[in-house]
Structure 1
Amino acid sequence: MTEITPQELLEELRRAADVVAGVTAKLTERDVPAPSELPGWTRGHVLAHIAGIANAMARQLEFAARGESTELYDGGFEGRTRAIEMAAGHGIEEHRADVETALERALRAFGALDAAGWQARITYRGGVVFDGGLALWRELVIHATDLGTGRGPETWSRPFCEHLFDFLAARVPAGERLVLQPLGLPPVAIGTGGKSTVINGMLTDIAAWLAGRNPTLGSLRATAAADGVDLPELLPWPAGVPVDR
């Protein structure tokens, strides 16, 4: 898999932000309380979370630029949850304004970085700004799908899917090894255990399954020792706050 550069990541963030803004622009007042693709969450919850994570990541960068640090969300995971619940019931115009302002803030912060800035330390996962950029990329692309407006995982790009293969290797249980075999592409092995399962399918279907989303092209097939088997159970999403959706 090809490593993405900071400049490429910045362009991906801008594209993902444009997609989120485009989807949000088409939502109506009646769409906000309707169920999203995430169990227990309305579209309003997803919109509130998108605005929240964009603002949170922007703040990480703003503090890092001053040589300071701050937690991702005020109050940690509980604070994150409270903020989402409080904002979920807002009207569509308020959601649009919140998402637009948060995305602009985040893109401005990432766009101002020099080479050293991408490597500045942040508190998110004890990593650096580049890790925060990858996280925001994941959040924007996946949650644009979670809004449930017809833009499914089949729209995810190859670089994004390959990034998920790497990041979500943490979901492979101990003792297991998954050989991901996207149609027409080289296989990718994740996990280090001795029990091997091959997952065949379209690139986006494999990525969606790893991300806990519903594959949209219906192409997945799992085999072990050349026999068809059920798709293996995965560990929870590798959380950063410490619980994530």
Structure 2
Amino acid sequence: MIDPVRDLASVREATDRLLTAAAALDSAALGEPSRLPGWSRGHVLAHLSRNADALVNALEGRPMYVSGDARNADIERDAPRPLDVQLDDVRDSAARYQSVASEESDWSRTVELRNGVKDTTARIPFRRLVELELHHVDLGIGYELEDLPDGFVEREIGFLADRFAGHHDVPTTTVVADDGREWTTGGGAEGTPVAVRGTAADLLGWLCGRRDGSALRITGGSLPQLPPL
């Protein structure tokens, strides 16, 4: 069940966790590559700041970004900043988002996100949590998929399984965690149903494009090729 108030508390905790970890870096480390192709750690932090502002825009009825090009330009502009400036921006933008989201009076209201995607305000805090948790991993500073809160991992696997459900390139796929939790995705492509098994962290890594799936056990066919997020 979606609980936006609980998710906002989780967003605050994830923000604090990321800021504490990033504060141990130095400005030189921000220029080093992150785990995202073409992005430095500075790019990742800049993106998190601008994403918080973009979600404020969405909640207040404005487009998240002026355009895709403007979004990318803002990230490129902000990526080279020194560590203290980056951390202040992540902290301040997060506070702005938290303030606006905490004032929401209608969690059933629909808002428009990027690329015409629409969602209810109740789901926006979890979307922000996903940005924080996965991009903390992307920084490559010791926080791994195995370190993510278990409840978050379960929800994000379910979210991504729903996202790929019925996709025309993905056969019917059963996703099974080693502890017995199970999800179903795909179903839009012809072919024999496939079962994909592994740890929850490895399953999430495959679904969100952070791992290649080589650690997973596949029955019924080959590992499905998932569309980009």
Calculate the TM-score normalised by the size of structure 1.
0.83
Once residues 9 and 19 of structure 1 are traced to their aligned partners in structure 2, the CA distance between those partners, rounded to angstroms, is 15
- Alignment of 1:182 with 2:177, yes or no, is yes
- Residue 217 of structure 2, aligned match among 202, 211, 221: 221
Once the two structures are aligned, what percentage of the paired residues are identical?
28
Find the residue that maps to 2:195 and give its secondary structure: strand
Question: Which ranges of structure 1 fall in alignment gaps of 5 or more residues?
Answer: 64-68, 238-245
Match of 1:133 in 2: 125
Find the residue that maps to 2:174 and give its secondary structure: strand
- Alignment of 1:207 with 2:211, yes or no, is no
Match of 2:187 in 1: 192
Once residues 187 and 151 of structure 1 are traced to their aligned partners in structure 2, the CA distance between those partners, rounded to angstroms, is 25
Structure 1 moving runs of 4+ over 3 Å: none
Please state how far the C-alpha of 1:23 moved relative to its aligned partner. 2.0
Aligned residues: 221
The answer as to whether partners of 1:171 and 1:236 remain within 8 angstroms in 2 is no
The answer as to whether partners of 1:204 and 1:215 remain within 8 angstroms in 2 is no
Find the residue that maps to 1:122 and give its secondary structure: strand
Match of 1:29 in 2: 27
Match of 1:66 in 2: none
Match of 1:79 in 2: 70
Please state how far the C-alpha of 1:164 moved relative to its aligned partner. 2.1
For residues 106-161 of structure 1, what are the alpha-carbon distances to aligned partners after superposition, in whole Å with 9 as ceiling and x for unaligned? 112222234x2x22232212222123222211111100110110101111223222
Calculate the TM-score normalised by the size of structure 2.
0.88
Once residues 15 and 230 of structure 1 are traced to their aligned partners in structure 2, the CA distance between those partners, rounded to angstroms, is 38
For residues 187-206 of structure 1, what are the alpha-carbon distances to aligned partners after superposition, in whole Å with 9 as ceiling and x for unaligned? 21112346311111111110
Specify the code of the residue in structure 1 equivalent to 2:81. H
Once residues 174 and 101 of structure 2 are traced to their aligned partners in structure 1, the CA distance between those partners, rounded to angstroms, is 34
RMSD over aligned CA atoms reads 2.0
Find the residue that maps to 1:205 and give its secondary structure: helix
Find the residue that maps to 2:111 and give its secondary structure: coil
Question: Which ranges of structure 2 fall in alignment gaps of 5 or more residues?
Answer: none
- Alignment of 1:119 with 2:108, yes or no, is yes
The answer as to whether partners of 2:198 and 2:216 remain within 8 angstroms in 1 is yes
Once residues 112 and 27 of structure 1 are traced to their aligned partners in structure 2, the CA distance between those partners, rounded to angstroms, is 34
Please state how far the C-alpha of 1:57 moved relative to its aligned partner. 0.8
- Residue 108 of structure 1, aligned match among 90, 99, 109: 99
